[in-house]
Amino acid sequence: MKTGPILLVDDEPIVLQLHAAAVQHFGFEAIIAATAEEGMQYTRAYQPALVITDVQMPGEGGFDFVANLERSGLKTMPVVFLTGYDDIDIVRSGLRAGGDDFIIKGGSIEKLRNRIAFWMVGGFTELPTDVRRRALTAANTVTGDTFSNVEDHMQINPDVLRRISARVSDELAALPETFGERLVERICFLGRLSKIAIEESQGFGDMVRFPDYAVSAVRGLDISWKNDIWPLFMRFDDWACDTRFVLSGVEPLKQFFDYDWYNKGLDQ
């Protein structure tokens, strides 16, 4: 579980109070900012574990705020965008700015609670860079006159999750029970899981929900080390920058008895 406060940025006091209550529901500390400028100040001062920000605010909006966090090197946490507009352009602009999740205002507070719970305990610190690029590319193919209910497209698709879980389970079933005891095997497993999740994703919404699919698939597996995967999720982008991680996802899982190919170059 992540430690640290949750920063809420919104110019509407009532909304801030509701969202603060959702944060405190889980026992986390809520820090409140009424403007993007205050949000920057509080991020520097308190290093929040999660940021939840409105998109539409007087002066600098949520996109500007998060883009400034990125430029300043302060975005080390997930960012959830809140918006009153059910519009694909919000998703495009939010992904470009560096947002990791989206909630349409006016729905059940339970949606916000669910997203808080996920980002605080799921392990991922953001939407992975490559997945963000894929999500934005897919969102750019959507035309406004043929698209509506954007939030519906960002729900977890049970069929997609079932396919991901089934493929991973089948590959693990063919391996000895000792597979996964070594860290390098878990890294290879994560590479393969990522490849399968991307292959099974059907649009921008599935890409945005990539962390959910990965976490849910692992939780559903009958493996003794599944609770030890979350530190790997936390460093996902670090692993993904290594060509060996990418190559480990290309073929079905297998047990290697000689890992020299993987360790080569690490001491250079």
The series of mean pLDDT values per 10 residues for the chain, 268 residues long, is 89 90 89 96 97 94 96 96 88 96 86 92 94 96 70 91 98 93 90 97 95 97 93 93 88 73 54
> For the segment 193-220, what is each residue's pLDDT rounded down to a tens digit?
999 999 999 999 999 999 999 999 999 9
CA torsion, ordered 53, 71, 132, 127, to nearest 10 deg: -60
Residues, the chain, total?
Answer: 268
Whole-angstrom distance, CA of residue 80 vs CA of residue 50:
8
> For the segment 117-156, what is each residue's pLDDT rounded down to a tens digit?
999 998 999 999 999 999 999 999 987 655 667 888 889 9
Residue ranges of the domains in the chain? 6-121, 157-263
* DSSP state letters, 127-148: --HHHHHHHHHHHHT--GGG--
Q: Is the dihedral of CA 89, 54, 202, 194 positive or negative?
A: positive
Q: Which residues have a Cβ under 8 Å from the Cβ of 67 and sit 6 or more positions away?
A: 97, 98
Q: Which residues have a Cβ under 8 Å from the Cβ of 47 and sit 6 or more positions away?
A: 4, 76
pLDDT of residue 263: 61
Fold of the CATH domain 6-121: Rossmann fold (3.40.50)
Give the three-class secondary structure for 31: strand
DSSP 25: T
pLDDT of residue 205: 94
